[in-house]
């Protein structure tokens, strides 16, 4: 008896995992492909092509009022589908492009930063302090491993960031004592997991293959582990992942409310504030560019406009 062919979205997942894309990318791409199929009344994508992709992307821009980055994400998902799953080329697309926003990022004064941090405590407060002290994105901060903290050199290595590259940023003296005390607790938690037969952590595919037992090593554990173990949605293994972004975001929202600051503030605001305050203190724009990991200095230049 012949086995039934795998469903299209399962084929998409297989192709994404073969390329070792992140689980977040997998969820995003599958979601956009599903929306594309539903938009065209459940027609199979192999029966469609450039015209249908153009219609969907134009709909997102005109009717959905999505941002340029959101539209680009949808396009990337559909491009992946046609190239890597259906083996079809889309060709040149003539679609209405979503407008790029020109708004200036929200930046806090140093006093406002202190006010918010005073209303944050525990591990969530420490996460926000790390973001402000090093300019990391929230996803980068939560993905930090023990080996990424260099207390001797006062450096943090942010790995597998946008563009799948690594960069070095600063680890302020003011964070050293708090982080070391935090890691003391994390190490006890990891030892407890090991004693109970767990202690494994997710590793990128290449590392897992090269170092089969590294997933239980202390240096590979997350700096900010979750409070409980969970099942890995891909491998099915029971592991302790890092903290979820939503918990940090919720704690920050409460702290902002308590501080009474009337600005639209999120975790990324502390990255913006980090860059702006460095420029205020006389740091060179190229140095700030490297610390933030921007490929083009024009991206970093927006903070000079904020200062002006």
**Residue numbers annotated as active site:** 137, 162, 268, 271, 294, 303
E strands present in the chain = 149-150, 155-158, 167-170, 230-231, 238-239
Beta bridge pairs of residue 170: 155
Helices within 108-151 (DSSP H only) = 110-118, 122-134, 138-142
Q: What is the dihedral of CA 223, 149, 114, 106, to 10 degrees?
A: -90
Residue 168 corresponds to which tokens in the numbers above?
């070095």
Residue 104: φ, ψ to 5°: -85, 140
Is residue 280 within 8 A of residue 296, CB to CB? The reply is no
Tell me how many degrees the CA angle 237-242-245 measures, rounded to the nearest 5: 125
Question: Would you call 120 helix, strand, or coil by DSSP?
Answer: coil
Cα–Cα distance measured from residue 27 to residue 44, given in angstroms and rounded to the nearest whole number:
20
Give which of 234, 258, 283 is closest to 115, Cα–Cα: 258
């Amino acid at each position: 008896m012949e086995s039934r062919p795998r469903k299209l979205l399962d084929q998409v997942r297989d192709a994404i995992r073969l390329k070792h894309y992140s689980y977040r990318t997998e969820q995003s791409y599958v979601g956009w492909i599903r929306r594309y199929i539903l938009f065209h009344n459940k027609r199979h994508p192999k029966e469609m092509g450039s015209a249908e992709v153009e219609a969907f992307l134009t709909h997102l821009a005109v009717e959905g009022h999505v941002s340029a980055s959101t539209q680009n994400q949808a396009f990337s998902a559909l491009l992946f589908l046609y190239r890597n799953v259906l083996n079809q080329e889309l060709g040149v697309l003539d679609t209405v492009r979503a407008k790029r926003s020109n708004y200036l990022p929200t930046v806090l004064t140093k006093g406002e930063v202190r006010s918010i941090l005073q209303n944050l405590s525990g591990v969530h407060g420490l996460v926000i302090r790390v973001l402000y002290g090093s300019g990391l994105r929230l996803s980068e901060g939560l993905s930090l491993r023990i080996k990424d903290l260099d207390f001797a050199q006062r450096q943090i290595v942010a790995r597998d960031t946008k563009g799948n590259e690594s960069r070095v940023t600063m680890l302020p003296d003011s964070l050293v004592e708090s982080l070391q005390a935090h890691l003391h607790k994390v190490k006890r938690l990891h030892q407890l997991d090991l004693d109970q037969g767990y202690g494994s952590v997710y590793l990128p595919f290449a590392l897992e293959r090269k170092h089969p037992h590294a997933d239980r090593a202390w240096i590979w554990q997350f700096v900010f582990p979750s409070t409980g173990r969970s099942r890995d949605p891909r491998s099915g293994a029971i592991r302790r992942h890092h903290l979820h972004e939503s918990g940090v975001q919720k704690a920050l929202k409460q702290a902002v409310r308590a501080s009474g600051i009337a600005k639209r503030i999120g975790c990324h605001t502390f990255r913006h504030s980090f860059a702006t305050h460095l420029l205020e203190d006389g740091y060179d724009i190229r140095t700030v560019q490297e610390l933030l990991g921007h490929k083009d200095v024009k991206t970093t230049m927006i903070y000079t406009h904020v200062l002006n």
